[in-house]
Structure 1
Amino acid sequence: MSGATGLEGKQIVVVNWRDLDHSLAGGAEIYAWQYARALQEGGAKVRFITARDEGQAARETRDGIDVRRGGGALGFYLFALLWMLRHRNDIDAVIDPACGLPSYSPLVLRRSTPAFLIVHHVHQAQFAVHFPAPVAAFGRWMERVAMRRVYRRQLTAAVSESTATEMREQLGWNGTVRLLENGADLPPYDAADAQNKDADRIVVLGRLVAHKRVDLVLDAVAALRARPAFADRDLLVDVIGQGPEGERLAAHAAELGLADRVVFHGYVSSEEKNDLLGRAAVHVCGSDAEGWGQAVIDAAASGVPTVARDVPGLRDSIRDGKSGWLVPDDISPGVVTGRLADALSNALIEAADPTTRVHRAEACLKWAHKFDWSQMRSNARDLTTEMLLGRAPALPDCHNPRDLRVAV
């Protein structure tokens, strides 16, 4: 890129729990890597500190970025803190996304070194899903109390307005939270091609982990197949993604009588993903909560509307009634399943008409094209320059990093 950015020669560290090649990588990893790319494009020397998955090298260079790996799911935090402590005199700034918890980098940095905390979504409810009660309680305290205290003087951003609201209501966050939205990889898809979609094809996109609640989607599909209106419909489900819930979900699909109706594709290339999305009529997301809903925008970029629960992140990434449909949430899984089934029924009945599919695809594409990674990277450079030099970026439109006043 041309023109001075204020980042030339700066030594900046991006600390993220996983990198793009980690077996459990998802939207947060894409976001962190795009941020690292933004800094590298701006002339900074970037080091990406992350966990080391099985088979990964301890160090490599990718896209001109120096990647350092160490530690596992929890050992990574100690590895990252010790690495930053050893190199603190050579660090000008740290970008510190919270993937459940951030690295707490200010504890080991020089007082003059700024750290930029980026919150994808608040995990107070998710800790109990993944950890035993004592560990979950400690995790909630680390997020609600320790994170706020450690980063109280640092620049902070959320990836969506829902996340900023969660920070205020659940974490008691004070001060200003900037908004730095996600981008998207937009394939060359023409809305007219929606005429060729399979009206009976449903897609689920994302990591196979507990809080994504793919089980609820399978339950909804099973309920739908039992309805008379779908007796002659040949419903198929493509599940794109991998994760620790994969085997359990495959067994659940078999228990529901869906073994021959659901294909678990695991990890696929971008080309394969776009091909599967290009054939799908409806995307369904059963997540308990998201920071943003990257899968929703990826689906919309291929003309696929999403049925999802009306929860944080998903209500930001879906234009209800246009690029998809939000169903009211409930504490009862059975109630949620029924509502997802009803919304999916309506979506599939609509999808049976090729002309309607094209109109819906047009709305999806119009929404998806409001987000792109080049814009996100530009905004990321502006915020980093502001943090380093005290020079505020220009704010020409609603997708630039804007202030959200978040007070107790």
Structure 2
Amino acid sequence: MTPVAPVPTPSLAGRRVVVVNWRDLDHSLAGGSEIYAWELARGLREGGAEVELLTAREPGQAAEEVRDGIVVRRRGGALSFYPHTALRLLARRRRADAVVDPSCGLPSFAPLFLRRRTPVVLVMHHVHQEQFSTHFPAPVAAFGRWMERSVMPRIYRRSTTVAVSTSTVEEMRDQLGWTRPVGLLHNGAELPPLGAGDPAAKDPDRIAVLGRLVAHKRVDLVIRAVAILAPTRPGLHLDVIGQGPERDGLERLVAGLGLRDRVTFHGFVDEDTKAALLTRSALHVCASDAEGWGQAVIEAAGHGVPTLARDVPGLRDSIRAGETGWLVPDDADLVTVGGRLTAALTAALTEADDPAVRARHFEACQRWAHHFDWSAMRREARALVADELAKDAPAPVAQLHPGGARVAIMGGTQCVE
């Protein structure tokens, strides 16, 4: 990532900004997109804005609370969240100065419920065309794909749009036919200090999977690879760090493969426990179908852990192949993918056996991870919203991205044209 020169940020004092996100940090299925939404909301609050976060409400969660000066209001479940949010936005139609609307499958279609002049920022983590089929029956999946491909671009045609990675921008162009400019507002990360840890202390037989346990993460492929390698590596052990609806099925798979002594399900853990697990791991594996950005990849890299992953959107952005990890050629056939993953895992573990190689990956991973910082993301988010609110905002200044794509500085973010 090429650093963008800091942009002076006008104060947001007195401005009322609504951030909409399907889940909040305390939701049992919270993941990287929830951390992103919270850090964005924090950035706006740090700029002086009055920030309200609208999310769904899980059983046992409070309907309302204030955290770090941000008002969190929860209503509705997985689907009823959308009509609840529409009503809440209508109620704030004349009070909200700006709305930030991330797409977590589908966004809230905020422009339909606000005054035409109220700025809306659409945040795209990744395109969900393929994932709809993974998570929903065929008719529902078809409806979701149509909404994302046909309805969403029309509703947000006047809204400023940002994505979390170049891969997501490319997906928007290729799969959704998106033609308007898209900014880049990268993720950050909470990391240990550069140089913390000892690569010599890592266990070359210890591998980790980090993230939500949902179908498209394909944790089952990693478990099957461990089963194949177990006879030749007696000490091989997999730590599964995270919680989600697939856990029961994955635990049954582990039992069926006779791997109960080889796989540990840790569930949701606190930051100290996560750090301890990653500190001893030599390798992180991500078999996900696609990501908007590899948040787990960067977290692992911060602890000097390289990632083996499929060469898919998001993961190819967050891994520097050959330096901070390895990318496995993808395929529509998951059996083929599983075979390639197993072969690549064998090679990666062999590399991890060499202390010198392990030390080289450790240093490269930490250096790469420290390119990503939440404070920088919060600063850019403040600049972006302030730019939206400024009546006399200057036109974007075109620049040439080092990778060759045309970009513009848009409120502190890189704008891929």
Residue of structure 1 in register with 2:49 after alignment: 44
* Pairing 1:359–2:360 present: yes
Shift of 1:265: 0.3
Pairing 1:133-282 to 2, within 5 Å after superposition: 133-188=138-193, 190=195, 193-226=198-231, 230-231=232-233, 233-282=234-283
Contact 1:191 1:362 in 2 (8 A): no
**Distance in 1 (alpha carbons) for counterparts of 2:300 and 2:252:** 26
Structure 2 counterpart of 1:20, which letter?
L
Contact 2:129 2:145 in 1 (8 A): yes
Shift of 1:32: 0.2
Residue of structure 1 in register with 2:291 after alignment: 290
- 2:393 corresponds, among 391, 394, 401, to 391
C-alpha deviations, 1:46-95, integer Å up to 9, x for none? 00000001110000000100010000001111111100101111100000
Shift of 1:33: 0.2
Shift of 1:189: 5.7
Contact 1:144 1:171 in 2 (8 A): yes
Contact 1:204 1:238 in 2 (8 A): yes
Contact 1:95 1:115 in 2 (8 A): yes
Alpha-carbon spacing, 1:261–1:39, altered in 2? closer, same or farther (3 Å)? same
**Distance in 2 (alpha carbons) for counterparts of 1:61 and 1:87:** 18
Residue of structure 1 in register with 2:128 after alignment: 123
**Distance in 1 (alpha carbons) for counterparts of 2:398 and 2:284:** 33
**What SS does the corresponding residue of 1:326 show, helix, strand or coil?**
strand
**What SS does the corresponding residue of 1:52 show, helix, strand or coil?**
coil
Shift of 1:174: 1.5
Contact 1:180 1:376 in 2 (8 A): yes
C-alpha deviations, 1:228-270, integer Å up to 9, x for none? xx24x41000000000000000111111221110000000001
Contact 1:395 1:401 in 2 (8 A): no
**Distance in 2 (alpha carbons) for counterparts of 1:344 and 1:123:** 28
Structure 2 counterpart of 1:193, which letter?
D
**Distance in 2 (alpha carbons) for counterparts of 1:324 and 1:350:** 11
Shift of 1:274: 0.7
Contact 1:385 1:391 in 2 (8 A): no
Shift of 1:364: 0.2
Alpha-carbon spacing, 1:94–1:294, altered in 2? closer, same or farther (3 Å)? same
Q: Which moved more, 1:181-190 or 1:72-81?
A: 181-190
TM-score (norm 1): 0.95
Shift of 1:192: 5.7
Residue of structure 1 in register with 2:15 after alignment: 10
Residue of structure 1 in register with 2:5 after alignment: none
Structure 1 counterpart of 2:333, which letter?
S
**Distance in 1 (alpha carbons) for counterparts of 2:200 and 2:32:** 29
Give the share of equivalent positions with the same residue, in percent. Answer: 61
Shift of 1:279: 0.6
Residue of structure 1 in register with 2:413 after alignment: 401
**Distance in 2 (alpha carbons) for counterparts of 1:259 and 1:137:** 38
* RMSD, aligned α-carbons: 1.7
Structure 2 counterpart of 1:110, which letter?
R
TM-score (norm 2): 0.93
* Pairing 1:103–2:103 present: no
Residue of structure 2 in register with 1:300 after alignment: 301
Shift of 1:403: 1.2
C-alpha deviations, 1:207-243, integer Å up to 9, x for none? 00000000011111112224xxx24x41000000000
**What SS does the corresponding residue of 2:266 show, helix, strand or coil?**
strand
| Number of residues of Structure 1 aligned to a counterpart in Structure 2 | 399
Residue of structure 2 in register with 1:33 after alignment: 38
**What SS does the corresponding residue of 2:278 show, helix, strand or coil?**
helix
In structure 2, runs of 5+ residues without a counterpart are: 1-7, 403-408
**What SS does the corresponding residue of 1:142 show, helix, strand or coil?**
helix
Residue of structure 2 in register with 1:329 after alignment: 330
Q: Which runs of 4+ in 1 moved over 4 A?
A: 392-400
Shift of 1:336: 0.8
**Distance in 2 (alpha carbons) for counterparts of 1:146 and 1:275:** 45
**Distance in 2 (alpha carbons) for counterparts of 1:341 and 1:391:** 52
In structure 1, runs of 5+ residues without a counterpart are: none
